[in-house]
Protein backbone atom coordinates (compact mmCIF):
# COMPACT_ATOMS: atom_id res chain seq x y z
CA UNK A 1 0.00 0.00 0.00
CA UNK A 2 1.39 3.36 -1.01
CA UNK A 3 1.95 5.65 1.97
CA UNK A 4 0.05 8.55 0.41
CA UNK A 5 -3.18 6.56 0.53
CA UNK A 6 -3.00 6.07 4.28
CA UNK A 7 -1.78 9.65 4.69
CA UNK A 8 -4.87 10.80 2.82
CA UNK A 9 -7.22 8.86 5.11
CA UNK A 10 -5.51 10.37 8.17
CA UNK A 11 -5.82 13.82 6.59
CA UNK A 12 -9.51 13.38 5.77
CA UNK A 13 -10.26 12.28 9.34
CA UNK A 14 -8.37 15.24 10.81
CA UNK A 15 -10.35 17.61 8.57
CA UNK A 16 -13.63 15.99 9.65
CA UNK A 17 -14.23 15.22 5.98
CA UNK A 18 -14.34 11.53 6.85
CA UNK A 19 -16.66 10.80 9.79
CA UNK A 20 -17.83 7.62 11.45
CA UNK A 21 -21.27 6.79 12.83
CA UNK A 22 -24.46 5.98 10.97
CA UNK A 23 -25.34 7.89 7.81
CA UNK A 24 -28.05 7.30 5.22
CA UNK A 25 -26.81 7.29 1.63
CA UNK A 26 -28.77 8.43 -1.43
CA UNK A 27 -29.46 4.75 -2.09
CA UNK A 28 -31.13 4.47 1.32
CA UNK A 29 -28.33 2.39 2.83
CA UNK A 30 -27.08 2.98 6.36
CA UNK A 31 -23.37 3.59 5.97
CA UNK A 32 -20.94 3.46 8.92
CA UNK A 33 -18.93 6.33 7.43
CA UNK A 34 -19.50 9.54 5.53
CA UNK A 35 -17.11 11.37 3.20
CA UNK A 36 -17.87 15.03 2.41
CA UNK A 37 -15.20 16.50 0.12
CA UNK A 38 -16.90 19.89 0.35
CA UNK A 39 -15.34 20.29 3.81
CA UNK A 40 -11.89 20.70 2.28
CA UNK A 41 -12.85 24.36 2.40
CA UNK A 42 -9.80 26.47 3.23
CA UNK A 43 -6.56 27.26 1.47
CA UNK A 44 -4.34 24.86 3.42
CA UNK A 45 -6.79 21.98 3.04
CA UNK A 46 -7.18 22.54 -0.71
CA UNK A 47 -3.41 22.71 -1.13
CA UNK A 48 -2.93 19.38 0.68
CA UNK A 49 -5.83 17.77 -1.18
CA UNK A 50 -4.42 18.89 -4.52
CA UNK A 51 -1.05 17.38 -3.63
CA UNK A 52 -2.76 14.04 -2.92
CA UNK A 53 -4.49 14.19 -6.31
CA UNK A 54 -1.13 14.85 -7.97
CA UNK A 55 0.47 11.91 -6.13
CA UNK A 56 -2.32 9.56 -7.19
CA UNK A 57 -2.05 10.69 -10.81
CA UNK A 58 1.71 10.28 -10.95
CA UNK A 59 1.57 6.91 -9.18
CA UNK A 60 -1.00 5.66 -11.71
CA UNK A 61 1.41 6.36 -14.61
CA UNK A 62 -1.59 7.15 -16.82
CA UNK A 63 -0.60 8.96 -20.03
CA UNK A 64 -2.44 12.29 -20.34
CA UNK A 65 -2.01 15.70 -21.93
CA UNK A 66 -4.31 17.94 -19.91
CA UNK A 67 -6.84 18.09 -17.04
CA UNK A 68 -10.57 18.79 -17.03
CA UNK A 69 -12.71 19.70 -14.00
CA UNK A 70 -16.52 19.40 -14.22
CA UNK A 71 -18.40 22.31 -12.65
CA UNK A 72 -18.78 23.06 -9.88
CA UNK A 73 -16.79 20.91 -7.47
CA UNK A 74 -14.26 20.00 -10.12
CA UNK A 75 -13.24 23.63 -10.71
CA UNK A 76 -11.06 24.18 -7.60
CA UNK A 77 -9.92 20.55 -7.77
CA UNK A 78 -8.61 20.79 -11.32
CA UNK A 79 -6.89 24.16 -10.71
CA UNK A 80 -5.28 22.96 -7.49
CA UNK A 81 -4.18 19.67 -9.05
CA UNK A 82 -2.61 21.48 -12.01
CA UNK A 83 -0.60 23.61 -9.57
CA UNK A 84 0.44 20.56 -7.54
CA UNK A 85 1.54 18.70 -10.67
CA UNK A 86 3.55 21.72 -11.81
CA UNK A 87 5.31 21.73 -8.44
CA UNK A 88 6.23 18.09 -9.14
CA UNK A 89 7.72 19.04 -12.51
CA UNK A 90 4.69 18.12 -14.65
CA UNK A 91 3.20 21.32 -16.04
CA UNK A 92 0.00 20.62 -17.99
CA UNK A 93 -2.90 22.77 -19.22
CA UNK A 94 -6.34 22.54 -17.65
CA UNK A 95 -9.88 23.71 -18.23
CA UNK A 96 -13.36 23.45 -16.76
CA UNK A 97 -16.88 23.83 -18.06
CA UNK A 98 -19.58 26.39 -17.47
CA UNK A 99 -23.02 25.19 -16.46
CA UNK A 100 -24.40 27.48 -19.16
CA UNK A 101 -22.54 28.40 -22.33
CA UNK A 102 -21.45 32.06 -22.52
CA UNK A 103 -22.59 33.98 -25.62
CA UNK A 104 -20.44 37.11 -25.14
CA UNK A 105 -16.78 37.90 -24.44
CA UNK A 106 -14.67 34.85 -25.20
CA UNK A 107 -17.85 32.75 -25.34
CA UNK A 108 -18.04 28.98 -25.26
CA UNK A 109 -18.88 26.29 -22.73
CA UNK A 110 -15.40 25.90 -21.22
CA UNK A 111 -12.86 28.14 -19.51
CA UNK A 112 -9.11 27.68 -19.72
CA UNK A 113 -7.06 25.67 -22.18
CA UNK A 114 -8.58 24.21 -25.32
CA UNK A 115 -9.78 20.63 -24.98
CA UNK A 116 -7.39 18.52 -27.03
CA UNK A 117 -5.32 15.37 -26.77
CA UNK A 118 -5.74 12.93 -23.89
CA UNK A 119 -7.88 14.52 -21.17
CA UNK A 120 -7.88 13.40 -17.53
CA UNK A 121 -11.09 14.23 -15.61
CA UNK A 122 -10.70 15.42 -12.00
CA UNK A 123 -13.71 15.02 -9.69
CA UNK A 124 -14.43 14.41 -6.00
CA UNK A 125 -16.46 11.19 -6.12
CA UNK A 126 -18.51 9.13 -8.55
CA UNK A 127 -22.07 8.48 -7.46
CA UNK A 128 -24.62 8.20 -10.27
CA UNK A 129 -21.94 8.88 -12.87
CA UNK A 130 -23.84 11.81 -14.40
CA UNK A 131 -20.92 14.23 -14.09
CA UNK A 132 -18.54 11.77 -15.70
CA UNK A 133 -20.91 11.06 -18.59
CA UNK A 134 -21.42 14.77 -19.30
CA UNK A 135 -17.68 15.40 -19.12
CA UNK A 136 -16.89 12.58 -21.52
CA UNK A 137 -19.51 13.81 -23.99
CA UNK A 138 -18.10 17.35 -23.85
CA UNK A 139 -14.51 16.15 -24.31
CA UNK A 140 -15.38 13.92 -27.25
CA UNK A 141 -17.50 16.66 -28.86
CA UNK A 142 -14.39 18.87 -28.85
CA UNK A 143 -12.44 16.17 -30.69
CA UNK A 144 -10.36 15.22 -27.65
CA UNK A 145 -9.98 11.85 -25.94
CA UNK A 146 -11.07 11.18 -22.34
CA UNK A 147 -8.34 8.99 -20.89
CA UNK A 148 -9.35 8.53 -17.24
CA UNK A 149 -11.10 9.84 -14.16
CA UNK A 150 -9.42 10.69 -10.85
CA UNK A 151 -11.49 10.82 -7.65
CA UNK A 152 -10.73 11.23 -3.95
CA UNK A 153 -12.38 8.13 -2.47
CA UNK A 154 -13.75 4.98 -4.10
CA UNK A 155 -16.48 3.56 -1.83
CA UNK A 156 -16.20 0.22 -3.66
CA UNK A 157 -19.88 -0.59 -3.24
CA UNK A 158 -22.49 -1.83 -5.66
CA UNK A 159 -24.79 0.55 -7.46
CA UNK A 160 -28.09 -0.67 -8.90
CA UNK A 161 -26.40 -3.80 -10.23
CA UNK A 162 -23.36 -5.83 -9.27
CA UNK A 163 -20.80 -3.19 -10.26
CA UNK A 164 -19.63 -0.12 -8.37
CA UNK A 165 -19.94 3.34 -9.91
CA UNK A 166 -16.23 3.29 -10.76
CA UNK A 167 -16.49 -0.14 -12.39
CA UNK A 168 -19.49 1.03 -14.42
CA UNK A 169 -17.42 3.91 -15.78
CA UNK A 170 -14.69 1.48 -16.80
CA UNK A 171 -17.23 -0.82 -18.46
CA UNK A 172 -19.33 1.87 -20.17
CA UNK A 173 -16.55 4.16 -21.41
CA UNK A 174 -13.44 1.99 -21.45
CA UNK A 175 -11.39 4.38 -19.33
CA UNK A 176 -9.70 3.77 -15.96
CA UNK A 177 -10.79 5.32 -12.67
CA UNK A 178 -7.98 6.28 -10.30
CA UNK A 179 -8.71 7.09 -6.66
CA UNK A 180 -6.50 8.61 -4.00
CA UNK A 181 -7.86 6.01 -1.58
CA UNK A 182 -10.49 3.27 -1.43
CA UNK A 183 -12.72 1.65 1.17
CA UNK A 184 -10.02 -1.00 1.58
CA UNK A 185 -7.54 1.75 2.51
CA UNK A 186 -10.07 3.03 5.04
CA UNK A 187 -10.32 -0.46 6.55
CA UNK A 188 -6.53 -0.56 6.77
CA UNK A 189 -6.58 2.72 8.67
CA UNK A 190 -9.21 1.44 11.13
CA UNK A 191 -7.28 -1.77 11.75
CA UNK A 192 -4.49 0.25 13.30
CA UNK A 193 -6.75 2.11 15.74
CA UNK A 194 -7.52 0.34 19.03
CA UNK A 195 -10.21 2.90 19.85
CA UNK A 196 -12.05 2.31 16.56
CA UNK A 197 -12.76 -1.41 16.76
CA UNK A 198 -16.52 -0.86 16.54
CA UNK A 199 -16.07 1.34 13.46
CA UNK A 200 -13.86 -1.33 11.88
CA UNK A 201 -16.45 -4.06 12.50
CA UNK A 202 -19.23 -1.88 11.09
CA UNK A 203 -17.22 -0.86 8.02
CA UNK A 204 -16.13 -4.44 7.32
CA UNK A 205 -19.73 -5.67 7.61
CA UNK A 206 -20.82 -2.94 5.20
CA UNK A 207 -18.05 -3.93 2.79
CA UNK A 208 -19.05 -7.61 3.02
CA UNK A 209 -22.71 -6.85 2.32
CA UNK A 210 -22.57 -4.05 -0.25
CA UNK A 211 -19.02 -4.22 -1.55
CA UNK A 212 -17.74 -5.29 -4.93
CA UNK A 213 -14.80 -7.51 -5.74
CA UNK A 214 -11.45 -5.87 -6.40
CA UNK A 215 -10.66 -5.43 -10.10
**Is 104 marked active-site?**
yes
φ and ψ of 125, to 5 deg: -145, 170
What are the phi and psi torsion angles at 172 (to 5°)? -75, -35
Residue of 17, 14, 15, 36 lying closest to 25 (CA atoms):
36
Q: Is 33 exposed, middle or buried (0-12, 13-18, 19+ CB in 10 A)?
A: buried
Contact 6, 185 (CB under 8 A): yes
The CA distance from 145 to 87, in Å, is 25
Asked if 26 is an active-site residue, the reply is: no
Beta bridge partners of 94: 67
Listed residue (118, 125, 127) closest to 68, CA to CA: 118
> Which is the catalytic residue, given 26, 99, 104, 213?
104
Query: What residues are labeled active site?
Result: 102, 104
Amino acid sequence: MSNFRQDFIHFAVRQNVLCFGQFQTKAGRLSPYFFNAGLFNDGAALRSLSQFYAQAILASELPFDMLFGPAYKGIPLVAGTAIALAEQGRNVPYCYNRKEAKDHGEGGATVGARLEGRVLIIDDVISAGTSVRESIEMIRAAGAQPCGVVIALDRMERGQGELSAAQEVRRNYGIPVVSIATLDDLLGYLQGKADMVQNLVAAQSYRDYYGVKND
